[in-house]
Structure 1
Amino acid sequence: MNDSRLNVGLACTAAVVGAAVLNYAEVVSLIKDESGERVIGARIRDTLSGRIKYVYSLSGIYINSIKIYDSRTDCVLTEVLLDDLCATGVTRCNEFETFAKVVVNAAGPFCDSVRKMANSDVTPMICPSSGVHIVLPDYYSPEGMGLIVPKTKDGRVIFMLPWLGRTVAGTTDSNTAITMLPEPHEDEIQFILDAISDYLNVQVRRSDVLSAWSGIRPLAMDPSAKSTESISRDHVVFEDYPGLITITGGKWTTYRSMAEDAVNAAVRSGNLKPDNGCVTDNLHIIGGYGWDPASFTNEGLGKRLAHGYPFLEAEVAYCARHEYCESAVDFVARRCRLAFLDTDAAGRALPRIIEILASEHKWDKARQKIELQKGKEFLETFKSSKNAQFSDGKHNGKPL
């Protein structure tokens, strides 16, 4: 599964059916009613540039403006004017308030920080766990064939599967701090290499690692439980402050069920009266039918961004115009999976990606320089074979 494409497809689908989708928008505080007893909205900060993008536009669908209303009074809070060519809205300030009958907190491992905006004494729900994966060349997993070890020597689970033309292997499961850019430790990478080598007739080398990364699993605990035995990989929906529904835990394979449970909880909390029941069973995600090559531009952008990978220059322009792509990191990590598939190839592609985005977003030379620096810093958190030597206060890697 390409989870980055699915995630973008979900955002675009939500926008098409009526949602106002914001990118690089940070909730800085929650708004309560006059009695302080119920959450009725949030204050949001645009962390990008003071401009806030609201609408995804398909060809032939144009919207001139969006009016944002106070749900309590039906008064217009602000009106956002849109450019007919790309359907993007621009506000004149980088913070604004928005109101709702129910606020849903789906911030993953960061959901406790949102809950504390409503009640600073709230009991944490998240037990963060680090999961490390590595990517190897495709010859480690012939097409249609994978390997799973349900119990390694120390009782852990290891798998090795075909993934987007390469081989992904993992994973670890250990306590971790919550951070925006988690990094894999060298001993975790070596554990995976050693574990899969036990079941192959070749020694998997550290130099074969094209990319290695760490993600944070938001393992959930019911705040009303009396012991940590309630920690689960299933999702938890909880309303510990009126008007604020929190959903956390779970996994990609159950995301529709998670969403349905969260919406049902919101309906109950806000005493909402929807016109219909749940529509997820028949709702197709944008991109679910595949892509026509004509979806991408034909403007001299037909070259591949990296040798051996299918990603085209035209995809960068397409993502900038239609999929909220606002940075080079957005593209290499969150619109395609090049950073995760091959960190070094992503680094070589950065200059061309930035050049195309600069043309789309009218970046000056200073902004392009910043993008290149941020891109390099981001890729340093992926421990491919070429940047395996590092010191994090715990490990001191040696050149291979």
Structure 2
Amino acid sequence: MNRIKNLERLQNEEFDICIIGAGASGAGCALDATLRGFKVALIEKEDFAAETSSKSTKLIHGGVRYLEQAFKNLDFAQLRQVKHGLEERHTVIRNAPHLAHPLALITPVFSWFEGFYFKIGLTIYGFFAKNDPMPRAEWLNKKETFEHIPTLTPNLHSSVMYYDGQLDDARYCLALAHSADEAGAVVVNHASIVGFSKDAKGKLNEATVLDNLSGNHIQVKAKLFINCTGPHADSIRLMANDKQEKRLRPSKGVHIMLPPDVLKSQDAMLIPKTKDGRVVFVIPFEGEVMVGTTDDEYKALDKEPILIAQEVDFLLDTLRPYLAKVPDKSQIKSGFGGLRPLIGSSGSKATKKLVRDHEVEFDEESNLLSLLGGKWTTYRLMAKDTIDEACKILNKQTECSTELHYLVGGENYDFESWRKIQKDFSLDEATSQHLVKKYGTKARAVLEIGKLTEKIHPSYPFIKAEVIYTVKEEMACSLRDFFARRTRMELIEWKATLDSVEVVAELMASELNWNEEQKRSQILRYKQLLKTFIDHANTHK
């Protein structure tokens, strides 16, 4: 992906479709539309997956809580959401096997009846997963449970094990955008829509785009604009037509990152009920343990949602009945907050009860198509529904082909190729496996483009060659692009990230032609941001 060339194309060409927002839904729409033969532009104000799509629980699932709500409340919308998620689960894994894989989840229970209840529920859950090779739910006795997760409380009776999928959400979204770019889409990050122009009938025909890196404005012409901005969808809807009512009720969810000793397992744990009626997941991710999430309405959309001390307390308290030894706050390595793009009026029920389904909305007055709501697991179905509607509007009927389309790095992927890479480049096992799992069949290209095999930080497998590769090939433009989304170092450990900023800044400065002042500014801003995260997570207010 070459940002400079794509900016030139954005300025000089006209498009069938211009998609606003490059999270999972926007990048998914860009790939789908491009594969159908449309001329597509994809514009993102920050970075690919910068907001909601990089801050999920990293699960590909139908939602066991939605299934329970569906049966308890006879809520068929919840049941439909579960069905859609489970039908899409195997496709998400198939199309990027380096970035997504099956994951066993253990639900500890404290009585025979509780075990029976969850076994029935999770068996039904598996029933909806058609054409899915994942193992079915299994009731484990106490001894078998401890063989899977040895750190659980001795007070448990047994557990129920079932399977869902796990993904690296930020890199999966990047792979969607990268695949759209390879298919011919014009893909640009760090570019904001700041206004629209309309034709004599009041239909959108042009957008004014601000290149946030240069400060230049670009006029982008398109027959159809598609709004895929997640929690921020109302701002684009109202920019296109200020008579529309707001549709979104964003909610905030946070996660904390703990050391691997919390679980001592490659399996995850599902905590089936919290004091506020949610479920919480305790999941191995990038060698650490991620715990989340919460669900609280969030209105300050101009501010990044971040982890605060009270939320840390809530998640640690939620762990208490399930672990033999509960970690304390000093063990928290990092954390993050994200927003869910929920559809619902301000006076409706609590956000945790709102359905995570999606809706494709067409505003005939402005000609804006908006994709509202949804969740990661169903991104492909969301994109399909949106581009199906675009086909009707543009009077071009073509079929969706994304179900069997491998993403960049996914086709002919073989995890065992790490052994040859280790031998050829004299790497350690952890680094070799990391490169294969994150770049798939492009792993060797990472090493060949940079030939810098020195680690960025001694405790983690990331190497200097990745900085060069992600700038040249994956449109990394800032320190945070690299630390938060090209690698997941910001999510894994704040302190190690702080310690690595200068090393990465030197490499990025060389590739992006930053002068000394620009480099120092990048370092200062990013370090201040990391310190803000640390302060808020540790300070009660």
Scaled by the length of structure 1, the TM-score of the pair is 0.81
Name the counterpart of 2:191.
Answer: 25
Structure 1 position 39, deviation (Å) = 1.8
Name the counterpart of 2:358.
Answer: 235
Question: Is the contact between residue 134 and residue 211 of structure 1 (CA under 8 Å) also seen in structure 2?
Answer: yes
Q: Secondary structure at the match of 1:127?
A: coil
More helix by share: 2
Distance of 1:146 and 1:361 partners within structure 2: 40
User: Which residue among 407, 417, 438 is the counterpart of 1:285?
Assistant: 407
User: Which residue among 271, 287, 303 is the counterpart of 1:165?
Assistant: 287
Structure 1 position 158, deviation (Å) = 1.3
Structure 1 range deviating more: 17-26 or 305-314: 305-314
Structure 1 position 31, deviation (Å) = 2.0
Q: What are the residue-to-residue correspondences of 1:232-271 with 2, within 5 Å?
A: 232-241=355-364, 242-271=366-395
Deviations 1:168-221 (A, max 9, x none): 001100011213421122111110011112211102210111001111111123
Unaligned 5+ residue runs, structure 2? Answer: 1-166, 414-439
Q: Secondary structure at the match of 1:126?
A: coil
User: Which residue among 39, 46, 59 is the counterpart of 2:211?
Assistant: 46
Quickly say closer, same or farther: Cα 1:381–1:243, change in 2 above 3 A.
farther
Q: Secondary structure at the match of 1:29?
A: strand
Does residue 12 of the first structure (1) align with residue 135 of the second (2)? no
Does residue 217 of the first structure (1) align with residue 340 of the second (2)? yes
Q: Which residue identity is paired with 1:220? A: I
Larger RCO (CA within 8 A; separation ≥ 6): 2
Q: Which residue identity is paired with 2:198? A: K
Distance of 1:293 and 1:257 partners within structure 2: 29
Quickly say closer, same or farther: Cα 1:198–1:343, change in 2 above 3 A.
same
Percentage of identical aligned residues: 35
Q: Secondary structure at the match of 2:267?
A: coil
Q: Secondary structure at the match of 1:309?
A: coil
Q: Which residue identity is paired with 2:304? A: L
Name the counterpart of 1:333.
Answer: 484
Question: Is the contact between residue 307 and residue 536 of structure 2 (CA under 8 Å) also seen in structure 1?
Answer: no
Structure 1 position 231, deviation (Å) = 4.2
Q: Which residue identity is paired with 1:296? A: V
Distance of 1:387 and 1:140 partners within structure 2: 23
Distance of 1:115 and 1:48 partners within structure 2: 25
Q: What RMSD over aligned residues (CA atoms) do the two structures have, in Å?
A: 2.0
Question: Is the contact between residue 453 and residue 463 of structure 2 (CA under 8 Å) also seen in structure 1?
Answer: yes
Q: What are the residue-to-residue correspondences of 1:302-313 with 2, within 5 Å?
A: 302-313=453-464
Q: What are the residue-to-residue correspondences of 1:71-86 with 2, within 5 Å?
A: none
Question: Is the contact between residue 112 and residue 126 of structure 1 (CA under 8 Å) also seen in structure 2?
Answer: yes
Q: What are the residue-to-residue correspondences of 1:315-334 with 2, within 5 Å?
A: 315-334=466-485
Name the counterpart of 1:69.
Answer: none
Number of residue-to-residue matches in the alignment: 341
Question: Is the contact between residue 134 and residue 209 of structure 1 (CA under 8 Å) also seen in structure 2?
Answer: yes
User: Which residue among 221, 242, 247 is the counterpart of 1:99?
Assistant: 221
Q: Which residue identity is paired with 2:370? A: T
Quickly say closer, same or farther: Cα 1:232–1:240, change in 2 above 3 A.
farther
Distance of 1:232 and 1:40 partners within structure 2: 33
Distance of 1:23 and 1:311 partners within structure 2: 23
Deviations 1:326-368 (A, max 9, x none): 1111100121110011111111111011000011111111001
